[in-house]
Amino acid sequence: MGLANDKSSFDLDLFRKQLQYPNWYIRLSDFLNTKVFPIEDNPEIKTERHIFYDLVTQMLEENLISLAKEGPNFDKERKPIDTIVIHHSDEDPHMKLDKLSAIGFIRQYGSNYLKGEVNGNNVKGQPVWSGHFRNGKMVFFAYHHIVFPNGKNKRLLEDKYIGWQSGDWDINTRSVAIVLAGDYKHKSPQDNQINAVVDIIKQNYPFVSLGRIFGHREINPKTTCPGDQFIGGWKNTLLEAARTK
């Protein structure tokens, strides 16, 4: 599965057809494993990836992708929250939330369903089920809160839900995830965005010790999220603000 002869566009009809099958992630596995799951900065691959993300976003909005009506209780192992994991979206900070959910549908749920088993549940070939709902609609967010560059924030998942976000299931079961909208691979977020993260922590999770606030990269060494300026940089700013604010 790849691009049509015109490399500026996908064969959208072919992708659209495959996505309507419950096992779309198996049918598109070659494309997913080469163009989607490995995160690369190659501009051409990134363009292809976002064409696919946009298509999935549209089809989810139009209820054209088969979703499970019920499924395993992936949240049954939820533990008392004692950890906070900080991420950056590594995407356009103005991205629609529907697209962020679609990315989670593909990257978190699609990749795990393709493996065939999630925490002892045989799911391969089945339609995707998250068991997570927002405003009456099933969603696939990896994060509990998102903070925008202007300092505004929105809740994405209820705390009772496990976010599939850290790469470590035990951490997932006991943590909440806060994502900063934007690309901070090589730069720091503005103070108002950091302060908004602090406000979320102070208002919702004052019981979490400062020593249990981590960047994604501190949990999963395979990622640089939330950027190379976090450790020894704006993490200190965040913790100091959380200590004194």
> If you average pLDDT over residues 112-118, what whole number do you get?
92
**Residue 58, in any domain of the structure:** no
**Residue 181, in any domain of the structure:** yes
Residue type at position 108: Q
DSSP letters spanning 98-145: HHHHHHHIIIIIIHHHHHTEETTEE-TTSPB----EETTEE---S-SE
Residue 245 has what pLDDT?
A: 67
Residue 6 has what pLDDT?
A: 41
**Residue 165, in any domain of the structure:** yes
**Residue 221, in any domain of the structure:** yes
pLDDT digits 0-9 by tens, 4-59? 334 445 688 999 999 999 999 999 999 999 999 987 778 888 889 999 999 999 99
**Residue 149, in any domain of the structure:** yes
Residue 8 has what pLDDT?
A: 42
**Residue 6, in any domain of the structure:** no
**Residue 120, in any domain of the structure:** no
Question: Among 202, 152, 158, which residue's Cα sits nearest to residue 181?
Answer: 152
- Residue 192 reports pLDDT greater than 80: yes
Residue 40 has what pLDDT?
A: 72
> Which strand (E) or helix (H) includes residue 29?
helix 29-31
Residue 3 has what pLDDT?
A: 35
Which domain, by its residues, includes 229? 79-95+141-244
Residue 2 pLDDT class (50, 70, 90 cuts): very low
Q: How far apart are CA 28 and CA 1, in angstroms?
A: 7
Q: How far apart are CA 64 and CA 217, in angstroms?
A: 35
> If you average pLDDT over residues 110-115, what whole number do you get?
95
What is the C-alpha radius of gyration for the chain, rounded to an integer number of angstroms?
Answer: 18
State the CATH number of the domain containing residue 172: 3.40.80.10
**Residue 41, in any domain of the structure:** no
Number of domains in the chain: 1
